[in-house]
């Protein structure tokens, strides 16, 4: 890395993110294109089979088999998407860490590094999904059921339908807003878990706790990052979708009712392609920026910049707990006396010579 490590502002992190992305654009784009390509391929398969069934081009018995196939494909698609997304996140994190500290990497090297600990990254990604999405959605559904039961009991007790409807509607809106806020807050707290897991090679739960500690004091900056990248993704999708859609409807004969269904299918495919392009281009931005936030927090909280300079200078710090080794017994060696010295018995005792008595008048 050409620049020295030091605490950075949000603008400096965004500038460094753009610089790293430009310097290894094809590598990061290739890493992120693999999971988004898998998602796009599965979405296209679902869409084409559903469209084939809906238009009635298949026989009735074939339609039933197609629905069964779609159900099995949906069950298999979820773990596959989870695995490729987790591996891609770990691969991008590994590549960013190497490039940020002055090294070089390739798509193959990044995925090879992520593959060695693939189960750990999958478990971490699943934990993030459970904390951020699954837990609040399940809690919200349970609350809706409780509110519905309360409204039913109130209706039996003689309360008005208007009051019951207002109660259920207000509590549903408030609980939904609370769970959305919880999801955003948990997303910010877990945003540095993957960088910590990749760089420090720690287990999934340890990486979660590490992210809780490192995200202290920087959740606002990470939230601004998410807003900026989300706005950039929306603008990018619109920039790709609107011109293609307008061009599609300007083709002669596309406004004909006979071609209305085909135009709708084409628009959906354009939307899928735009989403694929936006995800492929923007996913490295998230990963690079979060990795830079991880190093920035370590510099601010733990002095990682000093540790890195010491490592680059070849200075290895002393261990905090020294290793205690058992004393090695030294064998007794019996030396031969020199010929010009008298033989000293083995059990001889030596008495110190007495000091001479002081004469009168001498000072002690």
Q: What is the pLDDT of residue 235?
A: 85
Report the C-alpha gap between 278 and 77 in whole angstroms: 21
The C-alpha torsion from 234 through 235 and 241 to 245, rounded to 10°, is: 120
First CA to last CA distance, the chain? 74
Q: List Cβ neighbours of 275 (8 Å cut-off, separation of 6 or more).
A: 40, 237
User: What is the sign of the dihedral through the CA atoms of 248, 254, 257 and 259?
Assistant: negative
* pLDDT tens-digit map of 213-256: 999 888 999 999 999 988 888 888 788 777 777 776 776 655 66
Report the C-alpha gap between 126 and 120 in whole angstroms: 10
Instruction: Write down the domain spans for the chain.
Output: 10-126+218-312
- How many CB atoms within 10 Å of residue 109? 16
Burial class (CB in 10 A: 0-12, 13-18, 19+), 92: buried
Which run of H or E residues covers position 147? helix 135-156
Do 244 and 266 meet the contact criterion of CB atoms below 8 Å apart? no
Q: List Cβ neighbours of 265 (8 Å cut-off, separation of 6 or more).
A: 51
DSSP 304-333: HHHHHHHHHTT-PPPPSSPPP-PPPPPPP-
User: What is the sign of the dihedral through the CA atoms of 195, 200, 205 and 208?
Assistant: negative
Helix (H, G, I), strand (E, B) or coil at 122: helix
Rounded to two decimals, the pTM is: 0.72
Report the C-alpha gap between 55 and 50 in whole angstroms: 9
Report the C-alpha gap between 261 and 265 in whole angstroms: 6
pLDDT in tens, the chain (364 residues): 455 667 788 888 989 999 999 988 999 988 888 887 787 777 777 777 776 666 655 556 566 666 677 677 777 778 888 888 889 889 998 888 888 877 888 898 889 888 988 899 999 999 999 999 888 888 888 887 887 777 677 666 555 566 666 666 777 788 888 888 898 999 999 999 999 999 888 899 999 999 999 998 889 999 999 999 888 888 887 887 777 777 767 766 556 665 566 666 667 777 777 777 777 888 889 889 999 999 889 888 887 767 767 766 766 554 333 333 334 444 444 444 444 444 444 444 444 445 455 555 544 4
DSSP 256: S
User: What b/e string do you get for 67-91 counting C-beta neighbours within 10 Å, with b at 16 or more?
Assistant: eeebeeeeeebeeeeebbbbbbbbb
Report the C-alpha gap between 168 and 162 in whole angstroms: 10
Nearest of 42, 200, 29 to residue 110 by alpha carbon: 29
Q: List Cβ neighbours of 126 (8 Å cut-off, separation of 6 or more).
A: 82, 86
Q: What is the pLDDT of residue 42?
A: 77
Report the C-alpha gap between 301 and 68 in whole angstroms: 54
Helix (H, G, I), strand (E, B) or coil at 217: coil
Q: Which two tokens stand for residue 43?
A: 């979405």
């Amino acid at each position: 890395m050409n620049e020295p490590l030091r605490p950075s502002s949000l603008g400096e992190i965004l500038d460094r993110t753009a610089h790293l992305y430009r310097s290894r654009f094809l590598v990061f784009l290739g890493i992120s294109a693999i999971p988004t390509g898998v998602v796009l391929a599965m979405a296209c398969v679902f869409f084409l089979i559903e469209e084939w069934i809906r238009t009635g081009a298949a026989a009735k018995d074939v339609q039933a088999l197609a629905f069964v196939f779609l159900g099995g494909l949906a069950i298999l698609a979820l773990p596959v998407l989870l695995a490729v997304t987790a591996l891609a996140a770990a691969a991008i994190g590994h590549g960013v860490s190497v490039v940020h500290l002055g090294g070089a990497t390739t798509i193959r090297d990044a995925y090879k590094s992520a593959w060695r600990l693939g189960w750990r990254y999958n478990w971490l990604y699943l934990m993030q999904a459970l904390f951020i999405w699954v837990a609040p959605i399940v809690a919200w559904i349970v609350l809706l059921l409780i509110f519905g039961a309360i409204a039913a009991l109130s209706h039996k007790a003689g309360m008005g339908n208007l009051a019951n409807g207002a109660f259920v509607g207000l509590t549903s809106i408030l609980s939904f807003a609370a769970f959305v806020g919880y999801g955003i807050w948990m997303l910010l707290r877990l945003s540095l878990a993957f960088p910590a897991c990749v760089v420090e090679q720690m287990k999934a739960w340890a990486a979660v706790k590490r992210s809780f500690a490192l995200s202290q004091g920087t959740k606002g900056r990470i939230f601004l990052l998410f807003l900026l990248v989300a706005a950039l993704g929306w603008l990018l999708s619109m920039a790709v979708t609107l011109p293609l859609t307008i061009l599609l409807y300007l083709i002669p004969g596309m406004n004909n009712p006979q071609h209305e269904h085909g135009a709708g299918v084409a628009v959906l495919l354009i939307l899928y392609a735009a989403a694929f392009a936006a995800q492929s281009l923007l996913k490295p931005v998230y990963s690079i920026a979060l990795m830079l936030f991880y190093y920035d927090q370590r510099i601010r909280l733990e002095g990682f910049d000093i540790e890195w300079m010491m490592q680059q200078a070849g200075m290895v710090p002393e261990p905090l707990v020294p290793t205690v080794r058992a004393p090695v017994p030294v064998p007794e060696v019996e030396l031969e006396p020199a010929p010009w010295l008298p033989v000293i018995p083995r059990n001889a005792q030596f008495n110190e010579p007495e000091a001479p008595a002081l004469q009168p008048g001498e000072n002690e």
